[in-house]
Chains A and B, each alone.
Chain A
Amino acid sequence: MSDLIDDAPEGVNAPEYSVSEISGAVKRTVEGAFAHVRVRGELGRVSRPRSGHVYLDLKDDRAVLSGVIWKGVAARLATQPEEGLEVIATGRLTTFPGQSKYQIVIEDIRPAGMGALMAMLEKRKAQLQAEGLFEAARKKPIPYLPEVIGVVTSPSGAVIRDILHRLRDRFPRKVLIWPVAVQGEKCAPEVARAIAGFNALTPGGALPRPDLLIVARGGGSIEDLWGFNEEIVARAAAASEIPLISAVGHETDTTLIDFVADQRAPTPTAAAELAVPVRHELLAWTEAQGARLGQALSAQLRYRGERLRDLSRALPRPETLVEQARQRLDWLGGRLPVALSRGVDRRRLRLSELSGSLRPSGLRQSVAGEARRLEGLGARLGPALGRLVVRRREGFSAVAGRLRTDVLGADVVQKRREVDQLAERLDRVARLQLKDWREALEAQDRLRLTLGYEATLQRGYAVVRGDGDVVTTKAAASKAAALEIQFADGRLSVGGKPAKKAGGKDKPPEQGSLF
């Protein structure tokens, strides 16, 4: 309006804030104005660092609001924040001056109505189904009579009691309880871990691996049961090698684990019923089978017995088989004595025929004939012998006529003369020979005497012996203990050196040969 007034630019004279001041002012304003708000939005990125606090985004189609749930609060939440879930978060806004940010500190978080929760569950279900985790082909049969049953549930409370009671009633078994939280933030991870943990056990170990799992929880609100809708629980149940029965909530409650479980039980009690058969029923059944077995066998035996009787009735009587033969036997037997006597009669007749021709007169006649023949031959025997002798004697006389004794006698005289001459010659020759041998012998002896030393002794020589040996030197003679001189007419002992030892010892061993 007036050029004269040099209006200062608007706000110039407003007080200046420092950044901290303005941040603090904003903080006060925001926290004062939004100390308690309820914000509806879809959960964006949810992160859970190890600190235990939960950081998340709340968003709608145009804006994003950061949020935090402190650790203590997070553990108490009935609904665990999950990406994509439409929620109503209750809390207060606060700023974070260091980064020029503001956020909501969430005190409680609830699904934005049943529809929102269900919508998210449907979405998750559709995804797992697409992966084939609900396929009937994946479902393992529940063992008829498990030895060890693993139960994943809260260790206190009605659920485990119901299960154990029902097991006890039906068929007491070994039960391993894996304690878990069945609601709240810890529920899903603990349940998933328990399922995997049971699968990791070794069969028959100190912690025996169960052959059946029951995951159970009692009834509650959809939020209470929500842990069993969590994906990690569903995936752990799908991965379980051990057959698994889910029993979460009441009959009308269906959670995600029910779709992947091998069997869904409407209640924990029903799970126990699915798990084991009724023992006394089986005992009765076994008894009945035993009875049927016995009956079937006796029926078999009875039937075969009847059949045997039937067949034996159809068999012709043995009598009929032999009757004809017996008749024939009778007939033949009847004929036998008759035939026998007739045969005897026939033979007897023939005997009498033959014996009739056998009479003493005939025999005598025959003997007389033979005797006559003998006499005839005997009469011819004497003349025949005489004739033979005459013939032989004639032959002998002819030869004897040629045998002359005078020739033989002359031969004998001649031979005797020759023998005498030979004997005379032999005698003469023998005597001559003997005389020659004697002369030769004497000549030899004479020669022997002239050659021996004894002959030399005749000529005046002597032989000296000392200690038996011939001594030929003076040295030997002086050594000898005794000397002996042999002359032609005998031996003389002379003293020598006196004997050093007893004479018996010094006697020449050859002394015996002197005699």
Chain B
Amino acid sequence: MTDTPIAEMTFEQAMKELETVVAQLERGDVPLEDSIKLYERGAELKKRCETKLKEAEEKVAAITLDGDGAPTGTKPVEGL
């Protein structure tokens, strides 16, 4: 188990952790109380995964460059 709080996990971390939790629970060799805790943790991880999956926003911008080729900002890109 990682020490990162679930709310700060990246999608990948939460996903891996969820896999671990499910596998552990399915193995069935944990004490009953721990398995309830595992279940709760799994549910939280699942929620985190869903949250990250819902943050699916497309935003496309092109970097604008000055005469020397250094970035100065962005301009939105549309119609691509």
Interface residues of A (CB under 8 A from B): 143-145, 155, 160-161, 164, 167-168, 171-179, 190, 193, 197, 201, 206-207, 279, 282-283, 285-286, 289-290, 292-294, 296-297, 299-301, 303-304
Contact = CB atoms under 8 A, between A and B. Distances in A.
Given A143-B12, A176-B74, A304-B32, A289 B42 contact: yes
Given A144-B12, A177-B61, A297 B74 contact: no
Nearest to B46: A290
- Tell me whether chain A's interface is mostly helix, strand or loop, or mixed: helix
Interface string B19-41: 10110011010001001100100
A161 B61 CA distance: 13
B25 A293 contact: yes
A290 B69 CA distance: 49
B39 A293 contact: yes
Contacts of B74: 176, 207
Given A155-B77, A293-B39, A178 B63 contact: yes
Nearest to B30: A300
Nearest to B10: A145
19 contacts: A145-B12, A164-B80, A172-B58, A173-B56, A174-B58, A175-B59, A175-B60, A176-B74, A197-B71, A207-B73, A282-B15, A282-B49, A289-B49, A292-B22, A292-B25, A293-B43, A296-B35, A299-B26, A301-B32
B69 A190 contact: yes
Given A207-B63, A293-B43, A297-B39, 13 more contacts: A155-B77, A168-B58, A174-B58, A175-B61, A176-B62, A179-B65, A279-B56, A286-B50, A289-B19, A290-B43, A292-B26, A294-B39, A296-B28
A334 B64 CA distance: 108
A283 B62 CA distance: 30
Nearest to A286: B49
Interface of B: 10-12, 15, 18-19, 21-22, 25-26, 28, 32, 35-36, 39, 42-43, 46, 49-50, 52-53, 56-63, 65, 69-71, 73-74, 77, 80
Given A145-B10, A145-B12, A197-B70, A300 B60 contact: no
Nearest to B14: A286
A173 B58 contact: yes
A395 to B, nearest CB: 109
B71 A144 contact: no
Nearest to B25: A296
A212 B7 CA distance: 23
Closest 5 CB pairs of A and B: A172-B58, A144-B12, A296-B25, A293-B42, A177-B62
A301 B18 CA distance: 20
Nearest to A299: B28
A292 B22 CA distance: 7
Of the listed residues A161, A164, A201, A292, the one surrounded by the most CB atoms of chain B closer than 10 A to its CB is: A292
A484 to B, nearest CB: 123
Contacts of A283: 50, 53
Contacts of A175: 58-61
A155 B62 contact: yes
A171 B56 contact: yes
A310 B19 CA distance: 32
Contacts of B39: 293-294, 296-297
B46 A177 contact: no
Contacts of B26: 292, 296, 299
A143 B39 CA distance: 27
Contacts of A290: 42-43, 46
